[in-house]
Each structure stands twice: as structure tokens, then as C-alpha cells.
Amino acid sequence: MKAWLDLTERRKFGEKIDSRDIRKHRNDVCRMSELLGEEIMIPTKGIIKKDISEFLLKMETEELDTKQLGLRQSKEEIIRRLTNCYLRDDRDS
């Protein structure tokens, strides 16, 4: 997630970044999300939690063809799963 955020930010400010590298990082996160069970909760804090929140917020506006990537989940399901895993507060359980 952090790599995708960093690369998109650097590209936004004019650095020459190959769009394939950016897509690769995003797609890797989406593919790995399928490995997360619904019950998995990984507590996060501070900058890590902020970066995950930012990634998920930006993913809402990203075009993503999950079928082309061979994923069983929709983009919305991926965002929900990652949110439940990394951003769910202990009080939400």
C-alpha cells in the first residue's frame, strides 16, 4: 500500500514513474487481500493506519477490473475486507 501511495505521489509531482509499476503494487495488494479471512484483524496505529486509510480512500476512485486480474471479489469487497482487517477498532468486534 505504501509503495503505491509513494509512487502515485511522486508521479503527481512530475517524477517519471512507469504506470505499470504503480498498477503492479495496487494489483498485488488486491490479490493478497483474497488471502485474508473475514475473522482476521491486524491492529494498526499511527502512520501505518493513516497510510492504509489513505490507500483505501484513493482506491474508491481507482478503476480496477477484478475479473481481468483473476480475482473473485469486486473492488468494493476488497476495500471492505482490507478495512475490516486493518482499520477495525477493537470496539467494533
The domain limits of the chain are 2-92
Which residues lie below 8 Å from residue 56, measured CB to CB, with a gap of 6+? 79, 82, 83, 87
Q: Is the pLDDT of residue 78 over 70?
A: yes
Give tens-digit pLDDT for 46-57: 999 999 999 999
Instruction: Decide if 4 contacts 25 (C-beta within 8 A).
Output: yes
pLDDT over 80 at 92, yes or no: no
Q: How confident is the model at residue 90 (pLDDT cuts 50, 70, 90)?
A: low
Local confidence band at 27 (pLDDT 50, 70, 90 cut-offs): very high
Can you give the pTM of this predicted structure?
0.88
